Chains A and B, each alone.
Chain A
Amino acid sequence: MSLLQIRNLHAQVGGHEILKGIDLTVNAGEVHSIMGPNGSGKSTLAQVLSRHQAFEVTGGEILFNGKDLLAMKPEEAACEGVFMAFQYPVEIPGIGNAYFVRTALNAIRKYRGLDELDAMDFLPLYREKMRLLDMDEKFMNRSVNEGFSGGEKKRNEILQMAMLEPRLAILDETDSGLDIDALRIVAQGVNVMRSPERAMIVVTHYQRLLNYIAPDFVHVLVDGRILRSGGPELALELEDKGYGWIETEAGQIAPASA
């Protein structure tokens, strides 16, 4: 059984249809990259998968681990193992970073019927992951994302992912805003997480991230549809030629909808 099956997904926000029939199957152990022009619906897809309620699903279905993902609230999806690294991580003033992750981890553990971790059990793990991501320990007690630089926020997202150990990780433009060294470190953090039980969907605009995180599949999302899927070579081709040719080709094959 596939970990994630998306069939003919349609979604809208504020009366505008954004996703216009998405089909995508992701198996455990795979890394899929989604690319596509600005505004094509990549973040929307990520948010629908995370069950953001502002995005109204008007058609199609999503099975996650055989369960109906669309019936889940955001926290249920999270507890079932869906993690999204946000394109724009949110600040939570007054709540310490480590405390926050421990609360989240314990919420998920509780959902799964596991014992909660106390600070003594939690902190060594957290420290270890911070080292992996080359993050200073001072971030432990700073408020969640408050005053973090763009790159620090992205790193913090990956740190949370490393702690929460999701089954499906969706990284929404985690590479944007990272300097060259940070990109390598974050990619390394992601690669450590690759495992036969886990799948990843990596949304990005740039080939450079894919140099580090070699995807198994690349999909091109244009105007709410996946117009092309292929192997890693597709990303290279896009880097070279842009998106125009895909839209043209697609226009020749499928009837354009208004």
Chain B
Amino acid sequence: MGSSTETIRDLTQQDYKWGFVTDIESERVPRGLTEDTIRLISAKKHEPEFMLDWRLRAFRHWASLEKAQAEPKWANVHYGPIDYQDIIYYSAPKQKPNLKSLNELDPEILRTYEKLGIPLAEQQRLAGVAVDAVFDSVSVATTFKEKLGELGIVFCSFSEAVEKYPELVKQYLGTVVPHTDNFFAALNAAVFSDGSFVYVPKGVRCPMELSTYFRINAAETGQFERTLIIADEGAYVSYLEGCTAPIRDENQLHAAVVELIALDNAQIKYSTVQNWYPGDKQGRGGIYNFVTKRGKCAGINSKISWTQVETGSAITWKYPGCILQGDNSVGEFYSVALTNNYQQADTGTKMIHLGKNTRSTIVSKGISAGHGQNTYRGMVKILKGATGARNYTQCDSLLIGDQCGAHTFPYIEVKNSTARMEHEASTSKIGEDQIFYLQQRGLKAEEAVSMIVNGFCKQVFRELPMEFAVEAQKLLGISLEGSVG
């Protein structure tokens, strides 16, 4: 009784291991946000006219929302007002333009990624994983570019894509998440500085995992990256995203946008291991992670699958969704969200069924420990033309201790009577009897909780590429350490 509750309390008290700061000279734009900021960012990136116009349109829309105080307030998260004029919107490490090879990259940056376990240098590259490294506002390195290029696969920073593939960018940018989608999407469209771009041509199966590793380093800056992935007809790609940030007392804003487009018979698998700095044990500092991610199954038989493991950030606000437009297209969402200490997460998905016989699967696992608040918010919409659509939703919550909370808000809208919907939900507490059982077999209380949590998340972990599943398990263990003693 007493001591087991203590046990549970302690497992959540572990330090964030990625909280160091890299000392590096950076180039920033002045604090604040006006049209001039947008022009300056665009100029720094030598963008073509169409990009600047696009940004300015987004900015004007955002400014009108800001004026109308239309920042979204419906999420089940609480934070003080954000002063958008007190943020630095662009920060880039000073380096030579147009690096020819990684050898020219600032060794401090290379070392930073090595410390994070993401080697970029030629000789130590992760086999089978191509990495795009985004440091503050810009992409600093992309590995395996040439090898992928041989197959016609484009994997580069967004800036490079704007420069080299403007037609593709023009054709697809903003088609899944228009700047009018929401407040943060508008902000992102106005100020986004970099991100990853992927194009997999017709019939090509991308032979390795593509991944982007986001790192916020500079203080008082926001990170606004934008990722655009296009899988042409019959193409396949698996993409991973990881992120960390230094420990700082003030909150930092991260407002990203991800757009995925799958054409006929194409498949995109998008996995995230989100580990932004969550704030300290009293809830000071941490990243505000306000992200819009959406995929469009534009073609027939296409498939988009989101897998996310969310352990970081002070506040997470994110609903990776799928627009199932093509007949027989499939959308999937597998999520583990963990909130510990004073973290808050409001996350879930949106599945919009437009095409015939479209199917979606939602598996959400929420874990709350400490004073963490975890909300699942899901929307399944079956529109009139979506004859034969099906959805399966499973929503499980696990509570560790008795000061945390779990909430579920599943919204369902069905406009076609042939739809078949299934919904399952459960809430459980890690039982002391479970912990004791594992301890009786020789495991420490922490290991016991970690094992129980991993078992709880198994349905999601098995969707992750192998080595990342292992990493996710470890991360979960670390994020929970201290919640049992």
Contact = CB atoms under 8 A, between A and B. Distances in A.
B436 A103 contact: no
Given A54-B1, A94-B456, A103 B433 contact: no
Interface stretch (B347-355, B366-374, B441-449): B441-449
A93 interface: yes
B443 A95 contact: no
B interface, by DSSP: helix, strand, loop or mixed? helix
Nearest to A108: B442
Interface in A48-63: 50, 52-54
Nearest to A105: B442
B437 A93 contact: no
B124 interface: no
A75 interface: yes
Contact of A78 (B4, B441, B455): B441
B459 A94 contact: yes
A94 B4 contact: no
Interface in A62-77: 73-75, 77
B14 interface: no
Contacts of A52: 436
B439 interface: yes
Interface residues of B, number: 27
B442 A75 contact: yes
Nearest to B365: A94
Interface string B416-448: 000000000000000111101111111111010
Interface in B440-472: 440-445, 447, 451-452, 454-459
Given A90-B434, A92-B437, A93-B456, A78 B1 contact: no
Interface string A88-129: 011111110000110111011001000000000000000000
B442 A104 contact: yes
B437 A103 contact: no
A4 interface: no
B3 interface: yes
A107 B438 CA distance: 11
A229 interface: no
Contacts of A94: 454-459
Nearest to B434: A90
B455 A107 contact: no
A100 B437 CA distance: 11
Interface of B: 1-4, 431-434, 436-445, 447, 451-452, 454-459
Given A73-B445, A95-B452, A95-B455, 12 more contacts: A53-B2, A75-B444, A75-B445, A83-B440, A89-B437, A92-B434, A92-B437, A92-B455, A94-B455, A95-B451, A104-B442, A104-B443
For the complex of A and B, the 6 pairs showing the least CB-CB separation, nearest first, are A94-B455, A94-B458, A74-B439, A104-B441, A107-B442, A90-B437
